[in-house]
Amino acid sequence: MTRLLLICFSLFLFLEKSNCQTLGFAIANGKKRVEIPIEIQNNLVVVPVILNDMLPLKFIVDTGVRTAILTQKAFSDILQLPYSRKYSISGPGGEKLIEAYVTNNVSIALPGVTGKGHALLVLEEDYLELRNFLGTDVHGILGYELFSRFIVTLNYSRKVMTLTLPEKFRPGKRFQELPMLVEDTKPFILTSLNLTASNSMTAKLLMDTGASHGLLLEPSTDERIVVPLNTVSAVIGRGLGGIITGKTGRIESLKLGTYTLNNVLANFPDPNSYMDTLKSTLTFRHGTIGGEILSRFTAIFNFPQGKFYLRKNSEFKKKFYLNLSGIDLKAKGSGLNTFEVSEVRKLSPAEKAGILSGDLVISVNGIQSKDLHLNEINALLNIKPGRKVSIVIERNAIRYQLAFRLESQI
């Protein structure tokens, strides 16, 4: 999978209160629950929204953000939304990174759901390049305001999100219930990790639907979290400050209730690699669980009662593989059907075959890339270890046909 780690944490802003009389999300027509079709893009949940009853857009559903985010100011300008504040968001050392604005009294509607009086953080530009790295038009992020109002069920296999009024919610008999801490508007669980056969711990992990990785552990938080000897250095994600570097290795197992996931890939960020993100939090944690793990379950977030429910799906036993080709791609152009190599992992099959950052992918296994979605190209480049891939790339207006075999480096 493309290793896009969405670091879109909430800002601690003193947002102005809305003057609207009816605030927040509500299920339309007095219903108690609603099912909303979703897209799954690189393990991320994407939903259709309409801003101010006029502009249809797509937002990521992210447990890691407090205030809804619009990733491009051009859209709020189209709606002529007034801005109450302007912010300069800085990284380490005070370096200015991005400009952002706050607008209030925004209407955000989902299918079957009304939403009035919302504050919206508006980025000057799409600094995270969501649409490029997901290969689909994504314009913003929804967070705590949705989870605080409803019980949110994410059925990754059916591609449905169900919102239920808390007083009407009843979990199914096959779901396991885990205690969940909601701190600083974000959900955490305490769970058992076997880092090696002789090294185990109980870890406090953020349940982050806005991260596409499986597991991220921060060595600085506990001396037992040691980077494995067998690792691969890689770009493990992207934040507002640019790429996030680190090492990827494996831990022996992770438990969620009675479910045990074995031989799990874990990312270990380099020191200070992602301090310049919007995802800073005042709450201590050892790391995060993201979509690569959550998508193996139907996951239910009960923020009002501090409970998390899960039930495994057909993807549960799928093996964890690091990007088998070593290629990270980004989609470009108005149709998002031009594909450029953004990163090539060192010593990967792609690097050994001679592929370079900036190359354009023309075809994969004889299929023209212009006829494919980014998710489909990534699938072809990550079928299984040992599979031969034939790829045509373009560099400086010259085309080259290359071939390599997919390989698991760890």
Profile the chain (410 residues) by mean pLDDT over runs of 10 residues.
41 42 82 97 96 96 93 94 86 66 96 95 88 93 96 98 97 95 96 96 97 94 95 84 87 97 96 56 87 98 98 96 95 94 94 97 96 94 95 98 95
Other beta carbons within 10 Å of 53 = 9
For residue 132, give the 3-state DSSP assignment: helix
**pLDDT attached to residue 129:** 87
**Beta strand extents in 124-175 (DSSP E only):** 140-142, 151-155, 160-164
Helix, strand or coil for residue 370? helix
pTM score > 0.85 for this model? yes
What pLDDT, on the 0 to 100 scale, is given for residue 237?
Answer: 82
Domain residue spans in the chain?
Answer: 24-165, 168-312, 327-405
User: What's the pLDDT at 5?
Assistant: 44
Q: Is 77 helix (H, G, I), strand (E, B) or coil?
A: helix
Query: Given this model, what pLDDT does residue 117 score?
Result: 94
Residue 225 structure tokens: 């979290």
CATH topology for the 24-165 domain: Cathepsin D, subunit A; domain 1 (2.40.70)
d(CA 164, CA 149): 9
Q: Tens digits of per-residue pLDDT, 44-63?
A: 999 999 999 999 999 999 99
168-312: what CATH class? mainly beta
pLDDT at 282: 64
The token pair that represents 303 in the structure block: 């923020």
Same fold, 24-165 and 327-405: no
CATH architecture of 327-405: Roll (2.30)
